[in-house]
Amino acid sequence: MTIESNEELEALLGVTEINGDLLIEGAVTTLGALDCLRHVRGTLGVKNTELSTFEGLQQLVSATTVEVHGNGNLRSFASLGIVEVEGLFWIYDNPSLEEVQLDLTEYVGGLIIGKCFSGNPAEFSGNDVLTKIRFPGLAGGQIPSISLAGNPSLTTIDGILEWSSSIVLLDLLGNTMLDSEAVRTAWIAAGKDADLITTCGNLGDVNLCICTGTE
DSSP 156-169: EEETHHHHGGGEEE
Spatial CA neighbour of 48 closest among 64, 31, 28, 30: 28
Show the domain range for 105: 2-200
Q: Is position 84 within any domain?
A: yes
Q: Is position 213 within any domain?
A: no
Q: Is position 164 within any domain?
A: yes
Q: What is the pLDDT of residue 214?
A: 43
Q: Are 43 and 22 in contact (CB under 8 A)?
A: yes
- List per-block mean pLDDT (blocks of 10 residues) for the chain, which spans 215 residues: 95 96 97 95 97 91 95 86 89 93 82 78 82 75 86 85 73 91 87 89 82 50
Report the distance separating Cα 213 and Cα 209, nearest Å.
12
Domains in the chain: how many in total?
Answer: 1
Q: What is the pLDDT of residue 68?
A: 95
Q: Is position 75 within any domain?
A: yes
Spatial CA neighbour of 85 closest among 106, 68, 70, 71: 106
Q: What is the pLDDT of residue 130?
A: 94
Q: What is the pLDDT of residue 135?
A: 77
Q: Is position 214 within any domain?
A: no
Q: Is position 176 within any domain?
A: yes
Q: What is the pLDDT of residue 215?
A: 43
Q: Are 119 and 208 in contact (CB under 8 A)?
A: yes
Q: Is position 151 within any domain?
A: yes
Report the distance separating Cα 64 and Cα 116, nearest Å.
23
Q: Is position 212 within any domain?
A: no
Q: What is the pLDDT of residue 159?
A: 67
The SS3 assignment for 75 reads coil
Q: What is the pLDDT of residue 213?
A: 46
- Going along the chain, which residue ranges are E strands? 2-5, 17-18, 22-27, 39-47, 62-69, 84-92, 99-101, 107-114, 132-134, 143-149, 156-158, 167-173, 197-200
